Structure 1
Amino acid sequence: MNLEKILSISGKPGLYILKVQTRTGFVAESLADGKKITVNLKSNVSLLSEISIYTYEGEKPLAEIMKSIAAKENNGPAISHKEDNATLAAYFKEILPNYDEERVYPSDIKKILNWYNTIQAKGLVVEEAVAETEAVEATTETEEVVAEKPKKAKKVKE
């Protein structure tokens, strides 16, 4: 799962994909409705790839937590972020057993599950092993085509 270009913009609902960087900011496309918006550099923007969750041992990147949710749900949707706090905490405890319960609030868990379900609904939850296998297969096919290309015969002077 690649979270490199997925953004959360403060004051705007939902998630966005970074499309183009401009001199004064950037253009982002909403995952919810596909509308493009311009965002200036003064806006508070978070890349999902830069977000981490507190654990008792340190911090764990959001990408790893999303992978854990995807593995638990077989790349399907997670529970709704609208469940009660006790249900959400129990679910999150299954995903990340050592998360710091004092510093990770129910609102954080709701946001993570909402983000995961949004990304999953758009088909952006892909197992990296599958993606890597496809990339290796494409490379192998290219190498086979190159290997099959006949070599030119040398001209012999008489």
Structure 2
Amino acid sequence: MAFNRIAGGLLLAMLIGACTSSPTAPTEEAPAAPPATGETTQQEVTPVATSREDRFWKPPLFVTEEDEAHYYISRLADRRFVDVYGGEEHPRVWYIAAERLGQIGEPAISLLFGLIDSQDPYELMLVLYALQLATQDPRVMAQTGGDYVRLNAVLDESANEENRDIALAWWQRHGWRWE
């Protein structure tokens, strides 16, 4: 009995300590000047990865995949919500929200099409990429006969208009399932 109280007290102290510690603020560089007229809006610097805590943290009390999809939809336009892999020699950007929405699959599709008219080229690029991934969900592929959003160029803002047309054509053929 005494051991249970001691163990419970230690556990409570550890939880309180973990919940009340304040995270360190990441140091950020000053944002770059906006590109001059005629320049592309693609980022030319290597993005700084988000903190491990931010990458894996999810709001508490997720009950369904739809809850999770709503969270990642809200993070799509956040340029800081990325990770970098491949080492210093070959850094590659991992778009956390888009990749996770693609893994969620079918429950994310209607939410992603809700952002298909985004005026933010970065967000639209990630919406289209996430749609390509989400429409490859086996549940979706079974319903569509293997048809999914096949983008010609992925993760390229200059291809947004063409990719948006591809996604909308797919929605014309199959969108009735999610309306």
TM over 0.5: no
Select the structure that is richer in strand: 1
Q: TM-score, normalised by structure 1?
A: 0.24
Q: Choose 1 or 2 for highest CA Rg.
A: 1
Select the structure that is richer in helix: 2
